[in-house]
Amino acid sequence: MEDTKKSVTLSFGVTFIALLLAVVVGFNPEFSWPVLIAILLTLTASCLFRKRYTDGALVLCRILVGLLFVFSSFMKGVDPLGTQYKMYDYFIAYGIEGMGDMALPLAVFMILAEFLVGACLIVNVLPRLAVLGASLLMLFFTITTFFDAMFDLVPDCGCFGTAIKMSNWQTFFKNLIIDSVLIPLIFNNKSLKNKEFGFVKQIVAAVVLAALFLGFEIYNIRHLPVIDFMEWKVGNDMSPKENTASADIYLTYKNKITGETKEYLSPNYPWNDSVWMSEWEFVSQRVDGDQNTFGFSILDAYGDDYTHVLFDSDNLLVLVAPYINEFDAKDYVNCERIVDLARANGLDYIWITSENSKFIDSLYRHYDVLDEVYYGDELELKTMVRSCPGLMLMKNGVVVDKWSKIDFPSEKRVLKLVSE
């Protein structure tokens, strides 16, 4: 009896300390030796007392790990494209950007695996396989985030999508804490059983869970995230506040032949030199310091700042197209319909792209577009609309609605929103 009480105290005590440390890490984004030592001691305790965990403590650990996996996968599952972009950042950091085409399939698979492991742990379906899956995922996550924390390879791992931002040290510490809760499950794996349902029924349940969540991911890819955690979500007023001083805008261009990059203070670059423009392509832009409270700018072909057009119109249709190489024939048809709609009803409209002049040439071939095309930062365009092309309706800087390329609105819908 006394030994049982000690086991209960030890197992629940170590788990409680792990939860307490998770709270501490949540409020401390910087590296901390005391926090690291406390986490390592908790990890050591979970290893030493792994066989002292009671059935109740194991159930608690199973549910805690499962809830975390489900929460993390849901935050990423509402926006798989965001995870794709983050995965591509990792490919660049590790020098394997050639795998860029695999970023989306890998992102979808990883999110699905994380959800399935978590859901199975919560409902106790195939618990042994779920613990094995959690162990493999946490081994990968822990090693990856350790290198992130040490070398700052990627500024934010995206472990909770765009919903919750964590520093690299926070993420690594968080993973160590999860490991401390997972260790007892690993060493007591044989005792984890589902006595109510047979193996076949559990397989069926797992397949159903996977199919439902995969459908959820696909929906969010084809349309827009069902929950938008980004700045440009519907209802947000994106107009700059108070400080409206003009900003210094720097443009980066890359030589198409040598790969050399140069940064210019806009508009002090040879935009009117046709030879130079044919040899150099636009890469990115940045706004200097705190001069622009908005923090984002759109530029015309000459490098002049036209960000104000986003906020000056009572009704503005914004066609967002980061990459022309993602366009197909149907995309051009849909965009042409929006352009015709805007012109027929006297609505303002603009195009924003991060592409080089080839994109503009393509627009010239398909539409009578001249002054409506602007350049923006690729990352910002991706946060505007998770679609290429995508569409936004703005009223004096307020995002009224957004649509993916397969959901472009009818004329009736646009006019209804405009009249409200």
**CB neighbours of residue 153 within 10 Å:** 17
Please report the pLDDT score of residue 406 as a whole number. Answer: 94
Strand (E) or helix (H) holding 393: strand 390-395
- Residues in Cβ contact with 41 at an 8 Å cutoff, skipping those fewer than 6 apart: none
Q: For CA atoms 58, 64, 67, 72, give the dihedral sign.
A: negative
Tokens of 100: 């860029």
- Per-residue pLDDT reduced to its tens digit, 24-49: 999 998 999 999 999 999 999 999 99
- Per-residue pLDDT reduced to its tens digit, 152-189: 888 788 889 888 889 999 999 999 999 999 999 999 98
Write 56-60 long-range contacts (CB < 8 A, 24+). Answer: 56/8, 56/12, 57/8, 57/11, 57/12, 57/15, 57/184, 58/11, 58/184, 58/185, 58/188, 58/191, 58/192, 60/12, 60/15
User: Terminal CA-to-CA distance of the chain, rounded, Å?
Assistant: 71
pTM of the model: 0.84
Please report the pLDDT score of residue 27 as a whole number. Answer: 92
3-class state of residue 352 by DSSP:
strand
CA gap 87, 81 in Å, rounded:
10
Please report the pLDDT score of residue 189 as a whole number. Answer: 86
Please report the pLDDT score of residue 257 as a whole number. Answer: 79
Q: What kind of architecture, by CATH, is found in domain 249-419?
A: 3-Layer(aba) Sandwich (3.40)
Please report the pLDDT score of residue 291 as a whole number. Answer: 44
Query: Which one, of 366, 368, 347, lies nearest residue 358 by Cα?
Result: 366
Please report the pLDDT score of residue 177 as a whole number. Answer: 97
Looking at residue 131, its amino acid is V
Give residue limits of the domains in the chain.
Answer: 2-222, 249-419
Q: Which residue is it, tokens 């800087």?
A: 397
Q: List per-block mean pLDDT (blocks of 10 residues) for the chain, which spans 420 residues.
A: 75 94 93 95 95 92 97 96 92 88 95 98 96 97 94 85 90 97 93 87 97 98 94 89 58 78 74 67 63 66 83 93 81 89 93 73 61 81 92 95 96 94
